[in-house]
Amino acid sequence: MQPRSVAVLASLALVLGATALPDGGGAAQAAAAPPPSGSAQPPSTTFTNPITEPFADTYADPAILRGKDGWWYLYATSDPLVSGGPFGNMHVSRSRDLESWEYVGTIFDDENRPSWAASASYFWAPDIRYVDGRYVMYYTVTDTAANPDPWDYTIGVATAPTPTGPWTDSGGPVLDPRPAGGDTYLNTIDPALFTDDDGARYLYLGGFNGGLWVTRLDESGTRAVGELTRVTVADRYEGAFVVKRDGWYYLMGSSANCCAGPVTGYSVYAGRSRSPLGPFTDHEGVSLNESRVGGTQVVAQNGNRWIGVGHHAVLTDAAGQDWMLYHAIDKDDAWLEEPGGVNRRPTLIDRLDWIDGWPVVNAGAGPSEGPQPGPVATSGLGIVSGDPASGSGLRRVAGTLARGFDDTGDAGALARLVPGRRDAAVVRTAPAPQDVRIEADVRLPDAGASFTATLGGSGRAGVSVRLDAEARELVVGQGRRELRAALPDNVDLRDWHVLTVEARDGAVSARLSSSGLGDVDAEVRFEPRTSLPRQAPVRLAADDGEAQLDNLTVVPAHEPVTRRVAEPRAGAVTFAEEFDGELDPGWSWLHAPATGPAGVELTDGVLSWPLTGHDLVGPANDAPALLRDAPEGDFVLEATVTLPLGENTVRNYQQAGLLVHAGDDDFLRLAPVSIWQTRQVEFGKELTADGRTWFGGHVSGPVADTMHLRLFHTTDPDTGEHEYRAASSRDGRTWRFGATWTLPSNTTPKVGIYAGGGATPTTTATFDKVRLRDLTHP
């Protein structure tokens, strides 16, 4: 045990190549520092999507981590960065502020490429974490050398001492490829690690062919152990990412086709559970693991340039605000020129809000376009990013602490050593507000050491957060009253861990995690009996040994967004077809329906419409539709349709619903649909572009036998494009809003209803009303 006079060592946001402590910690010599002072707010910054535009046309399946050197690192799948470029073996870039990014290089080269992967294999969807003192990357291998079958997907893992390598593969797959029959394989793709507060490590993986699954990992984190547990139904989700918040495990996954060019409807949904193994349900209690699949929308395209928004990662900035990184497609520039068939999918970042217990991007507004307020990445209370190359930093020098630092490396009033006290190593910030957030990478080299952050000053109102290596606890307390959380056996405090402390709404929360990405080694929420003062310094102290800090930020806690953006509403009825007599003369048939006993019939106030195997998608263009002229201006198209699709059986692709028709190869349709064994609501689009016809769609749900459907039409004031936003309901009262598709300004679409898809088993759709309404803007 070292004497109590050992100081806190701190070096913040080190630059690559600078003198550093092992694993990225660093400290520079300094001279005596005056009391702390500084601005109460971090610098104001903005960003504009896509953030990867300076160096890449496409940067898909992003994963992110803050390195112990202070840089943020962004990883991507192995597509060419630019038109005509080679396929890389996954990519990495970096940023100091989460806004300005520079390319670093690839993960693998010919020398360290995994030998067990086939020469034709691609490497997809990296997931990056910091575990047991090293950087760990999980990734998809699309083809192994173990058998001659192509596309025998599985997961690989590699480790490195720095975020940029050199990477050493583990020598084999985390789990073997999973045969699906014949020469096909389940989608063992898109890995995502989650570490829980009992020390268990879980790897989530999977895709549409087979669903999302979770497996436990061994202590090394390189091999799966035990049985896999399926957490979502097949044919719906891929790209899993899990975070723990307020006792809930949130599973977020992407749905629909990722890569259909200008008709890509990819989006992200969430479910939550009290267990990392599920069952995961959405905000209405509908499971993500059943045929009539559930999911709460996190982000979907909103009518601006961005479509196909998905495959995401989540980070938390210095102020505690969450952000989502994801790829997207510019609907007017969807492809790399070379090689053909590769989508342009740059990386976007947007604010991730938590409203009524659920994550949602930009409070429901969707992907951003144009300048936006940026994440907080530096300190705002006298502790800012330092540059060891300029001689800045904090360290113990013969029992005294000298010279502070700031962004420029000049001497600054940052911190001081308070000598002659029991806790002889103390760093202090400028006065902090009541709601404040502290984040630092912390490690305790000495077995008996502890590190303490005290909020609210040293008086009776102060609340202390202590990371105690000897007791192996995270402790939060005020006076004699304390709450404790034990650390898992596999947490070694000699390795770096992310410690966050946040005071908000009268409570103080502390969390220790390995990577700071929603995982948790220990957490405590404490409600003090004496309120924190409105302004008081934050004190950081080491006791009974050395505490090393890196990437330290102290800022006012973010102000959370607690209300969703208002949704449009359906107003007064302007036209109603109740099917209680002859059809209104404004209707006309597209592709006349079949006649006779199997034909469309109008009886007893409903329109009965047998499904006959015809479809609008593709070259046939023979599915019948009932259409009429659309109103001028804004409106809502609405219908109620009953279509018994059953569950858990394959009935491709039976459907009936709303249609917006600008041509046989230029239309939108919204309907409940059977997609293999699932039942989903699909909002699809077909168009002709690049010399061929494309169809893709956004999927949502859940569905019932009787569904209420709406399309909200507006016109973009700048481009004149027709915008249609989908909504669906199982009861006609509670509506789920989905994606927005557009049609060109020079089209005059008709609107109406349609039915189509497979004829087996025999199925009849019945419409009991179609209405047009005024649209009421929020």
**76-89 pLDDT, tens digit each:** 999 999 999 988 89
How high is the pLDDT of residue 583?
A: 94
Q: How far apart are CA 572 and CA 588, in angstroms?
A: 24
For the beta carbon of residue 507, count every other beta carbon within 10 angstroms. 14
How high is the pLDDT of residue 385?
A: 31
Q: In terms of Cα–Cα distance, which of 452, 445, 492, 482 is closest to 199? A: 492
SS3 of residue 548 by DSSP: strand
SS (H, E, C) 256-290: CCCCCHHHCCCEEEEEEECCCCCCCECCCCCECCC
Q: In terms of Cα–Cα distance, which of 436, 561, 452 is closest to 40? A: 436
How high is the pLDDT of residue 26?
A: 31
User: Residue 9: is its pLDDT beyond 50?
Assistant: no
Q: How far apart are CA 211 and CA 228, in angstroms?
A: 12
Mean pLDDT, rounded, for 475-502: 97
- For 205-232, b/e burial (b = at least 16 CB within 10 A) is bbbbbbbbbbbbbeeebbbbeeebbebb
Q: What are the tokens at 520? A: 């948790």
pTM value is: 0.91
Radius of gyration from C-alpha coordinates of the chain: 28
How high is the pLDDT of residue 44?
A: 59
User: Residue 423: is its pLDDT beyond 80?
Assistant: no
* Among 85-89, 124-128, 266-270, 761-765, the least confident range: 85-89
Pairing of strands 547-556, 8-11: parallel
Give one DSSP letter per residue of 313-380, joined into a string.
Answer: EEEE-TTS-EEEEEEEEETTB-B-SSSTT-B---EEEEEEEEETTEEEEGGGT-S--S-EEPPP-S-S
Sign of the torsion angle spanned by Cα atoms 731, 737, 743, 747: positive
- For 657-680, b/e burial (b = at least 16 CB within 10 A) is bbbbbbebbbbbbbbbbbbbbbbb
How high is the pLDDT of residue 42?
A: 57
Q: How far apart are CA 236 and CA 217, in angstroms?
A: 25
How high is the pLDDT of residue 34?
A: 31
Q: Are 212 and 198 in contact (CB under 8 A)?
A: no
Mean pLDDT, rounded, for 156-171: 97
Q: What share of the chain is helix, strand, coil (3-state, %, to 5)?
A: 0, 45, 55
Q: How far apart are CA 429 and CA 387, in angstroms?
A: 19
How high is the pLDDT of residue 31?
A: 26
pLDDT band at 12 (very low <50, low <70, confident <90, very high): very low
Could you give phi then psi for residue 263, rounded to 5 degrees? -120, 25
SS3 of residue 22 by DSSP: helix
Q: Are 709 and 671 in contact (CB under 8 A)?
A: yes
What is the length of the chain?
778
Q: How far apart are CA 421 and CA 82, in angstroms?
A: 59
Between 417 and 513, the more confident residue is: 513
SS (H, E, C) 582-644: CCCCCCEEECCCCCCCCCCEEECCEEEEECCCCCCCCCCCCCCEEEEECCCCCEEEEEEEECC
Mean pLDDT, rounded, for 668-688: 97
pLDDT band at 393 (very low <50, low <70, confident <90, very high): very low
Mean pLDDT, rounded, for 547-572: 93
Q: How far apart are CA 321 and CA 45, in angstroms?
A: 14
Q: For the chain, how long is the longest CA-to-CA vector?
A: 99
User: Residue 71: is its pLDDT beyond 50?
Assistant: yes
How high is the pLDDT of residue 460?
A: 86
pLDDT band at 598 (very low <50, low <70, confident <90, very high): low
- The identity of residue 69, as a single letter, is D
Mean pLDDT, rounded, for 760-777: 95
**245-268 pLDDT, tens digit each:** 999 999 999 999 999 999 999 999
* Among 610-619, 625-634, 699-708, the least confident range: 610-619
How high is the pLDDT of residue 406?
A: 30
Q: What are the tokens at 686? A: 């077909």
How high is the pLDDT of residue 561?
A: 97
pLDDT band at 594 (very low <50, low <70, confident <90, very high): low
User: Residue 421: is its pLDDT beyond 60?
Assistant: no
Q: Which residues neighbour 526 within 8 Å (Cβ) at sequence distance 6 or greater?
A: 463, 476, 477, 478, 483, 507, 508, 509, 510
pLDDT band at 183 (very low <50, low <70, confident <90, very high): confident
Between 428 and 81, the more confident residue is: 81
- For 120-150, b/e burial (b = at least 16 CB within 10 A) is ebbbbbbbbbbbebebbbbbbbbbbeeeeee
pLDDT band at 562 (very low <50, low <70, confident <90, very high): very high
Enumerate the β-bridge partners of residue 526.
508
Enumerate the β-bridge partners of residue 169.
158
**715-747 pLDDT, tens digit each:** 999 999 999 999 999 999 999 999 999 999 999
Mean pLDDT, rounded, for 762-777: 96
Q: Are 452 and 438 in contact (CB under 8 A)?
A: no
Return the percentage of the chain with pLDDT > 90, whole number.
78
Mean pLDDT, rounded, for 101-125: 95
| Residue found by looking up tokens 């547990």 in the block | 229
pLDDT band at 426 (very low <50, low <70, confident <90, very high): low
How high is the pLDDT of residue 27?
A: 28
Return the percentage of the chain with pLDDT > 70, whole number.
88
User: Residue 410: is its pLDDT beyond 90?
Assistant: no
Q: What are the tokens at 219? A: 């202590």
**231-243 pLDDT, tens digit each:** 999 999 999 999 9
Q: Are 500 and 453 in contact (CB under 8 A)?
A: no
Could you give phi then psi for residue 327, rounded to 5 degrees? -95, 160
Q: How far apart are CA 496 and CA 217, in angstroms?
A: 21
pLDDT band at 690 (very low <50, low <70, confident <90, very high): confident
Q: In terms of Cα–Cα distance, which of 62, 175, 75, 159 is closest to 116? A: 175
User: Residue 16: is its pLDDT beyond 60?
Assistant: no
Q: How far apart are CA 217 and CA 225, in angstroms?
A: 5
- The identity of residue 146, as a single letter, is A
| Residue found by looking up tokens 């609210």 in the block | 456
For the beta carbon of residue 486, count every other beta carbon within 10 angstroms. 13
Beta strands in 444-565 (DSSP E): 450-455, 463-468, 473-478, 481-486, 497-504, 507-513, 522-526, 535-543, 547-556
SS3 of residue 107 by DSSP: coil
How high is the pLDDT of residue 281?
A: 98
How high is the pLDDT of residue 304?
A: 97
- Mean pLDDT, the chain, integer: 88
Q: How far apart are CA 115 and CA 105, in angstroms?
A: 20
Could you give phi then psi for residue 714, rounded to 5 degrees? -135, 170
Q: What are the tokens at 484? A: 């404790």
Q: Could you tell me the CA-to-CA distances from 431 to 38, 242, 380, 500, 505 in Å, in that order? A: 9, 36, 11, 18, 18
Q: Are 410 and 388 in contact (CB under 8 A)?
A: no
Which range of 27-36, 348-357, 381-390 scores highest in mean pLDDT? It is 348-357
Q: In terms of Cα–Cα distance, which of 552, 488, 520, 519 is closest to 128? A: 519
